Amino acid sequence: MVTSVTTLGRSGLSDWLIQRVTAIIIAAYTIFMVGYLVANPDLTYVQWVQLNQNNWMRIFTLFTALSIAAHAWIGLWSVLTDYITVRLMGPKAVPLRIVLELGMIVLILAYVVWAIDILWGI
Amino acid sequence: MLKVSIYRYNPESDSAPHMQDYEIDTGGKDLMVLDVLEMLKAEDPTLAYRRSCREGVCGSDGMNISGKNGLACITPLSECVKNNRLVIRPLPGLPVVRDLVVDMGQFYAQYEKVQPYLINHNPEPAIERLQSPEEREKLDGLYECILCACCSTACPSFWWNPDKFIGPAGLLQAYRFLADSRDTATEQRLSDLDDPFSVFRCHGIQNCVAVCPKGLNPTRAIGHIRHMLLRSGT
């Protein structure tokens, strides 16, 4: 058992499950968006605003933003713990990895707050 | 004449590893790579590699043959010689002791972690712990592993985190004991594996499946472990 404190779910299983569920949500949103844009080739600004003022659309978009945040957290954490390691870089890898991990988490959370602000500001 | 390029490194005299070229007459025969190494060693006794059974049973002569891990003793030249050239390197990712001999310590440490033995605290029966043919069948494709390390050293996740990710060979054995009807430590075994590294560093790229000289499928075993974790953890 290897302990980790900067993963999203703290357990390998929960990270793995979150990664798969969020992938489905992101895929569903992408399919919906592409479908909507294809179905409305003469999309106007008013129409676009109306779509995004629907509460269900706000929730759908927010879910997708949260999914991207969780997906990116788990994915980038994996990348950082693969390449920024003492094995590859020596002892300086530990402070560098902590800074990058925390920076990544702060940035992701900032994007989420920003997304909420945009969605409810429409 | 077959051109053979071999990774050479003697830490006592070389400052860095280098590739050494040899030429050898195979007499047009489709020899095994180990035969070629034996012929070269007769010429140059300083060449070091491990070998024992010479028939794919002991797992000693795992090495990187023309870019793909395999056992030298059961890899024919016809499978690995390209443009009349054979390139032999040690298994990737493990520290080199000398030439083609690698330090397997990290690999064995991961194997040890999965407790590769039956754990059963129930009172011993008078004769032996019996299995039905169906229960025994579940171990097929798992028990045949010879621990040659070809799979784990072909896995990038094991290259990056050999101290944390158990690797395909260890995980195949972990599932071998999870699947065994005589083992009673399933819950404890599963909880030892539920961290972000031990099992879940496997991203399913199946290098292990592609190189296993025994034709085993560690990726499938890892999938079974994931499903067991999912069943017990949700």
- End-to-end Cα, chain B, rounded Å: 61
Question: How many Å separate Cα B232 from the centre of its chain?
Answer: 29
Q: What is the mean pLDDT of residues B127-135?
A: 95
Checking DSSP bridges between strand B85-89 and strand B2-8, what pairing results, if any? parallel
Option in A2, A82, A87 nearest B195 (CB) = A2
Q: Nearest CA to CA, how far is B100 from chain A (Å)?
A: 22
What digits encode the pLDDT tens for the residues A112-122?
999 999 999 87
Residue A44 carries which DSSP code? -
pTM: 0.91
Cα(B59)–Cα(A119) distance, integer angstroms: 60
Q: Are the C-beta atoms of B170 and B162 separated by less than 8 Å? A: no
Cα(B168)–Cα(B170) distance, integer angstroms: 6
Please list the alpha-helical segments (H only) found in chain A. 12-39, 45-53, 55-83, 86-89, 93-121
* Domain regions of chain A by residue span: 10-120
Q: Which CATH number fits domain A10-120: 3.40.50.300, 1.20.1300.10, 3.40.50.620, 3.40.640.10?
A: 1.20.1300.10
> Contact A1/B163, CB-based, under 8 Å?
no
With a cut of 90, say whether residue B43 has pLDDT above it.
Answer: yes
> Contact B234/A88, CB-based, under 8 Å?
no
Report the residue of chain A nearest B201, measured CA to CA.
Answer: A78
Contacts of A12 in chain B (CB under 8 A): 193-200, 229
Contacts of B200 in chain A (CB under 8 A): 12-13, 15-16
- Record the tokens describing residue B128, joined without a space: 């032996």
> Contact B193/A7, CB-based, under 8 Å?
no
Q: Nearest CA to CA, how far is A66 from chain B (Å)?
A: 21
Is residue A7 very low, low, confident or very high in pLDDT (cuts 50, 70, 90)?
confident
What are the residues of chain B with a beta carbon less than 8 Å away from any beta carbon of chain A?
156-157, 160-164, 191-201, 226, 229-230, 233-234
Cα(B199)–Cα(B167) distance, integer angstroms: 8
Is residue A2 very low, low, confident or very high in pLDDT (cuts 50, 70, 90)?
confident
What digits encode the pLDDT tens for the residues B79-107?
999 999 999 999 999 999 999 999 999 99
pLDDT value, residue A76: 96
Q: How many CB atoms lie within 10 A of CB A108?
A: 17
Contacts of B164 in chain A (CB under 8 A): 2
What digits encode the pLDDT tens for the residues B180-229?
999 999 999 999 999 999 999 999 999 999 999 999 999 999 999 999 99
Please give the interface size between A and B, counted as residue pairs whose CB atoms are below 8 Å apart.
Answer: 60
Q: Mapped to the 3 state alphabet, what secondary structure does chain B carry?
A: CEEEEEEECCCCCCCCCEEEEEEECCCCCCCEHHHHHHHHHHHCCCCCCCCCCCCCCCCCCEEEECCEEEEHHHCEHHHHCECCEEEEECCCCCCEEECCEECCHHHHHHHHHCCCCCCCCCCCCCCCCCCCHHHHHCCCCCCCCCCCCCCHHHCHHHHHCCCCCCHHHHHHHHHHHHCCCCCCCHHHHHHHHCCCCCCCCCCCCCHHHHHCCCCCCHHHHHHHHHHHHHHHHC
Residue A42 carries which DSSP code? T
Cα(B111)–Cα(B162) distance, integer angstroms: 11
What digits encode the pLDDT tens for the residues A57-67?
999 999 999 99
Is residue B142 very low, low, confident or very high in pLDDT (cuts 50, 70, 90)?
very high
